[in-house]
């Protein structure tokens, strides 16, 4: 009965929030479990010191089967091009084929107002983010830039399958609910009829015929053009359940959705593939607050809970989420400044530990 988790804090507040999350993992697991943390390097600061952003040892540890999963903090990526540097989390997702970015957006249980409880399932490997761009000079001396967008049947099928599987799982824990879980397919196939058309077509097919009929029998499917999706997301976020989207739309709607639940500091994600999972807070390295001890650890604690749940520790994950909700709802005094409080990373972590 052992669990080995890689910790990759990387840059900025990653070094403050990943240790907080690891303390909560340690506390929630039964003492009979032999828990082992493996500390791994990556990041822009490492690159500046050594010329390497993602050491081979870090990749190898994630690939060679020695880890059950990993937690990633955040990286600082300069907005200008730095020779030899590219983002280590983007590279890790690619090397480990973590093709789904799963982002729950939730209001805490017990909070006042209408509850938001949605999961955005974002395709993580293609779309416009294949970075196939070119620029050409026109006869009149002006320039025109082009980007190629890739949507494959294979990637669309596996992301849609993951979204419907997540919906099935949500349906199971929601036994008393009258309605079946709903998957909203986000696209713009009225304009991009070939690329988004293919994404939509595959999602529909997965719904009708996937997982041996269980998706059609136990979930519902809906579709939404991405522009009206944003509109509805802001007006009636409580009506969404699971949303599945190509990479670019998924990126935009999930950051937007983060604004609906208070702060980037509370939004978690998991990078999921068929063989590995990395929990990762959605936020970046927050250079404006790094080193001050006031970074909100909740996004990382919730990401750790997603990782544990992915590894089958569902009851422990649920306890972590419940403790976080209790702190959010009942201890406004303890919360960090991003949520309007005067609290600290340590103070929030201690309160979560207390409620476990």
Binding site for ligand NAI (CB under 6 A): 13, 17, 74-77, 89, 264-265, 283-289, 295-296, 299, 336, 338
Q: Beta partners for 7?
A: 39, 71
Q: 40 or 253, CB closer to Mg ion? A: 253
Q: 189 or 269, CB closer to Mg ion? A: 269
Find the shortest distance in angstroms from Cβ 346 to Mg ion: 28
- Label residues 171-208 b or e (16+ Cβ within 10 Å = b): beeeeeeeebbbbbbbbbbeebeebbbbbbebbeebbe
Find the shortest distance in angstroms from Cβ 66 to ligand NAI: 24
Residue 146 corresponds to which tokens in the numbers above?
Answer: 């082009």
Find how far residue 141's CA is from the centre of its chain: 43
The entry of ligand NAI, Mg ion, none near residue 71 (CB within 5 to 8 angstroms by kind) is none
Q: Beta partners for 261?
A: none
The entry of ligand NAI, Mg ion, none near residue 74 (CB within 5 to 8 angstroms by kind) is ligand NAI
Q: 52 or 248, CB closer to Mg ion? A: 248
The entry of ligand NAI, Mg ion, none near residue 255 (CB within 5 to 8 angstroms by kind) is Mg ion
Find the shortest distance in angstroms from Cβ 177 to ligand NAI: 32
Cβ proximity of 221 and 182 under 8 Å: yes
The entry of ligand NAI, Mg ion, none near residue 295 (CB within 5 to 8 angstroms by kind) is ligand NAI
The entry of ligand NAI, Mg ion, none near residue 341 (CB within 5 to 8 angstroms by kind) is none
Strand, coil or helix: 275: coil
Q: Binding of Mg ion at residue 201 (CB under 5 A)?
A: no
Q: CA-to-CA distance for 101 and 191, rounded, in angstroms?
A: 25
Find the shortest distance in angstroms from Cβ 293 to ligand NAI: 11
Find the shortest distance in angstroms from Cβ 251 to Mg ion: 5
Strand, coil or helix: 11: coil
Cβ proximity of 242 and 160 under 8 Å: no
Q: 149 or 220, CB closer to Mg ion? A: 149
Find the shortest distance in angstroms from Cβ 61 to ligand NAI: 19
User: Binding Mg ion by CB under 5 A: which of 26, 117, 205, 255?
Assistant: 255
Region of 90 (left: φ > 0; alpha: ψ -120 to 50; beta: rest) is: alpha
Q: CA-to-CA distance for 24 and 20, rounded, in angstroms?
A: 7
The entry of Mg ion, ligand NAI, none near residue 219 (CB within 5 to 8 angstroms by kind) is none
Q: 16 or 280, CB closer to Mg ion? A: 280
Q: 61 or 294, CB closer to ligand NAI? A: 294
Task: List the 242-245 sheet strands across, edge first.
Answer: 34-39, 2-10, 69-74, 277-281, 268-272, 100-106, 117-123, 242-245, 182-187, 220-225
Find the shortest distance in angstroms from Cβ 115 to Mg ion: 24
């Amino acid at each position: 009965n052992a669990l080995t988790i890689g910790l990759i804090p990387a840059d900025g507040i990653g070094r403050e929030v990943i240790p907080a999350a690891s303390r909560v993992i340690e506390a929630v697991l039964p003492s009979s479990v032999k828990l082992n943390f493996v500390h791994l390097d990556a990041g822009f600061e490492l690159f500046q010191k050594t010329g390497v952003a993602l050491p081979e040892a870090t990749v190898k540890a994630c690939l060679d089967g020695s880890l059950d999963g990993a937690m990633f903090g955040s990286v600082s990526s300069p907005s200008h091009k730095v020779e030899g540097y590219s983002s280590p989390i983007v590279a890790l997702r690619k090397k480990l084929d973590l093709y789904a970015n799963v982002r729950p957006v939730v209001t805490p249980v017990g909070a006042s107002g209408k509850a938001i409880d949605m999961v955005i399932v974002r395709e993580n490997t293609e779309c416009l983010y294949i970075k196939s761009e070119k620029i050409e000079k026109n006869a009149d001396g002006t320039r025109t830039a082009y980007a190629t967008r890739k949507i494959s049947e294979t990637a669309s099928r596996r992301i849609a399958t993951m979204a419907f599987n997540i919906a099935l799982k949500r349906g199971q824990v929601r036994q008393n609910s009258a309605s079946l879980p709903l998957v909203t397919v986000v696209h713009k196939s009225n304009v991009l009829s070939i690329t988004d058309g293919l994404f939509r077509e595959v999602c529909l097919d997965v719904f009708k015929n996937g997982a041996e009929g269980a998706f059609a029998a136990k979930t519902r499917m809906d579709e939404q053009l991405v522009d009206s999706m944003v509109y509805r997301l802001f007006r009636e976020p409580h009506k969404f359940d699971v949303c599945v989207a190509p990479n670019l739309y998924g990126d935009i709607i999930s950051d937007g959705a983060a604004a609906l639940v208070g702060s980037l500091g509370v939004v978690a994600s998991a990078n999921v593939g068929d063989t590995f999972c990395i929990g990762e807070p959605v936020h970046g390295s927050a250079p404006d607050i790094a080193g001050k001890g006031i970074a909100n650890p909740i996004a990382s604690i919730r990401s750790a809970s997603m990782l544990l749940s992915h590894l089958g520790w569902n009851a422990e994950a649920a306890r972590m989420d419940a403790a976080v909700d209790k702190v959010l709802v009942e201890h406004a005094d303890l919360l960090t400044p991003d949520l309007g409080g005067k609290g600290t990373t340590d103070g929030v972590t201690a309160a979560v530990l207390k409620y476990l």
